[in-house]
Amino acid sequence: MKKVCLKIETLDDNVSLPFYAHSFDAGMDIRSNEEVLINSGETKVIKTGFKLSIPKGYEVQIRPRSGLSYNTPLIIPNSPGTIDSGYKDEIGVIMRNTSRKGKEIYSISEKGYKEGIYKINKGDRIAQMILNKIETIEFELTTDIDKDKNNRGGGFGHSGVK
């Protein structure tokens, strides 16, 4: 596995750097750098407290953590979120509370899917970060896409569910 060096700048002394929970993981866990309440139906950007210098030819993707998606109504609506190499500001994670009701406040560490307000504490693991090598697209103008030998036809459920 090739390692790529990314420069990282922390914005205060108590920032948790992204980390691999296991040496073979694809994604690094990202922690919140602030305490946030997310009301039902609300979307907020959660600050991480760090900036990255991403090399040209790469992107960083922000993706949900499976446990958070399974146990709460919190989603990352633009998943996967792309951070381009030209972006140099603080990394933020867009999070939406899809609860339709509820006034109770829950921690993201509680098990069991509950509708209501969710509290994210500073230091909570909120997302995953993945480095991805990118290719750029060059178009070739044509008038005969339908004649492409790889055209399987159909779409939007065309092949069924079984």
Q: What is the 3-state secondary structure (H, E, C) of 123-145?
A: CCEEEEEEEEECCCCCCCCCCCH
Judge whether 119 lies within some domain.
yes
Q: How many domains does the chain have?
A: 1
- Torsions phi, psi for 145 (to 5 deg): -60, -35
Q: What is the mean pLDDT, run by run of 10 residues, along the chain of 162 residues? A: 90 95 94 97 98 97 94 95 96 97 92 94 97 94 80 72 76
pLDDT for the residue 148: 72
d(CA 23, CA 158): 40
Judge whether 153 lies within some domain.
no
pLDDT for the residue 144: 84
* Residue-range definition of the domain harbouring residue 33: 7-136
pLDDT for the residue 80: 94
Judge whether 148 lies within some domain.
no
Q: How many CA atoms lie within 13 A of 61 on its CB side?
A: 13
Q: What is the CATH number of the domain that holds 131?
A: 2.70.40.10
pLDDT for the residue 160: 74
Pairing assessment for the beta strands 125-133 and 58-63 based on DSSP bridges: antiparallel
pLDDT for the residue 152: 67
Judge whether 56 lies within some domain.
yes
pTM exceeds 0.75, yes or no:
yes
CA dihedral 149, 151, 152, 157 (to 10 degrees): 180
